[in-house]
Homo-oligomer: A and B are copies of this chain.
Amino acid sequence: MKLQEIATLLGSRVPKDAADVEIRRISSLQSARGDDISFMVSDKHSAAALQSEAAAILVPRDTAIEGKVCLEVGDPYLAYARVALLFEDRSPEFGSGVHPGAIIDETAEVASTACIGPGTVIGAGCRIGEDTVIDARCVLERGVTIGRECRVHSGATIRRDVVVGDRVILQANAVIGSEGFANARDGARFVRIPCFGTVIIEDDVEIGAGTTIDRGNFEPTIIRRGARLDNLIHIAHNVEIGEDAALAAQVGISGSTKVGNRVLIGGQAGFVGHIRIGDDTFVGAKAGISKSVDPRSKITGYPARDLMKMRRIEAAQQELPAMVKELRRIRAEIKKLQQMSS
């Protein structure tokens, strides 16, 4: 790909004579070779940029690196993402079309441009959209609908009647549509409550490896457009995850909790059921959230509190053992003062 094409995509300008430079890869400053493009997020990395062998470097506006071909962009990290997508190999892992080792029910509708890998099982009434790639050994139970340009990585399981939008990525061994964890009690024994709902995964959602998303009781569990879920996350029945929300690995969200749009959640955080997390909220890693929070909150800790307040509490905790001793000393000195003044 010519450097000029990349510059045009980014709305940037190519320095003189560099328009025809052939770019074959994107790489970090350190690992770049002579036909790579690289990126410098900020001035902090200017030493690495000077030494990089990259043919061209994406840099912040009004930045020059001596002896280097630079493309100025508003946000070099975003530009990196965009250029990286140009060079990504998204070809199916096991060849194009339907692999003879796939097991597809005759009532399933698979678009002519879709790819189905070996060992993958597709149930009755499933519909698979154009240009969607399903790799090896996945399961789509009966009645699953998947849109176009999706990628379902090897080993993912999509249970019955789940609805998946367009351009969705489901990573290896993810489970979508498992039964919710709901039980009534009959004396000491549990009586299982079956789930009649499903899961809806909207467009442009990405779900990490090993993540499990339970189906809803009556209403569906919903992951809204553009949300990002990392690995080994647990989403219980009837949860909603808002648009463009991002959940780091091993987060757990209990039943019926609603997470707002653009909420960011750190790894291993946990949420009780039936609460609401307002839009644009930030939740720290390992936080335990047991109450609803307003939009634009910043919370962390367990029990979760305002971020700055929690930082002050954490700082004060350091002094706790000394405080215990100081309190004892003070008690003794007061006693003495009281005796003196009595």
Residues of A near any B CB (own CB < 8 A): 25-28, 31, 75, 77-78, 80-82, 84-85, 87-88, 93-95, 99, 101, 103, 105, 117-119, 121, 123-124, 135-137, 139, 141-142, 153-155, 157, 159-160, 169, 171-173, 175, 178-179, 181, 183-186, 188-194, 196, 204, 206, 208-210, 212, 214, 217-219, 226, 228, 230-232, 234, 236, 243-244, 246, 248-250, 252, 254, 261-262, 267-268, 270, 272, 285-286, 288, 290, 302-303, 305, 309, 312-321, 323-324, 326-327, 330-331, 333-334, 337-338, 340-341
Chain B positions within 8 Å of A315 at CB level: 321
Query: Does the CB pair A172–B172 fall under 8 Å?
Result: no
Instruction: Tell me whether A136 and B121 are in contact (CB under 8 A).
Output: yes
Option from B160, B188, B246 in Cβ contact (under 8 Å) with A244: B188
Please determine whether A28 and B219 come into contact, CB atoms closer than 8 angstroms. yes
Residues of B within 8 A of A118 (CB): 103, 121
Q: A272 with B285: in contact, given A136-B139, A210-B212 (CB under 8 Å)?
A: yes
Establish whether residues A249 and B236, one from each chain, have CB atoms under 8 Å apart when the complex forms: yes
Task: Evaluate contact between B331 and A334: CB separation under 8 angstroms.
Answer: no
The answer to whether B313 touches A318 (Cβ under 8 A) is: yes
Q: A77 contacts which of B184, B218, B261 (Cβ < 8 Å)?
A: B184
Query: Which residue from B94, B160, B196, B204 sits with its C-beta under 8 Å from A121?
Result: B94
- Knowing A208-B178, A232-B234, the reply to whether A141 touches B137 (Cβ < 8 A) is no
Closest to A243 in B: B188
Is there contact, CB below 8 Å, between B81 and A103? no
* CB nearest to A322 among chain B residues: B316
A244 lies within 8 A of B189 (CB): yes
Check A254 against B267 for contact (C-beta < 8 Å): yes
The answer to whether A81 and B192 touch (CB under 8 A), given A210-B210, A231-B214, is yes
Q: A267 contacts which chain B residues (CB < 8 A)? A: 234, 252, 254, 270
A302 to B300, CA, bound (A): 11
Q: Are B208 and A212 in contact (CB-based, < 8 A)?
A: yes
In-complex Cβ contact of A286 among B88, B136, B142, B288 (8 A): B288
Known: A121-B137, A179-B171, A250-B270. A324 touches B321 (CB 8 A): no
Q: In the complex the two chains form, what is the Cα distance from A264 to B326 in whole Å?
A: 36
- Identify which of A179, A243, A331 gathers the most chain B CB atoms within 10 Å of its CB: A179
Q: List 9 A-B contacts (CB under 8 A).
A: A31-B218, A77-B184, A82-B184, A84-B193, A135-B141, A188-B261, A212-B232, A232-B234, A234-B250
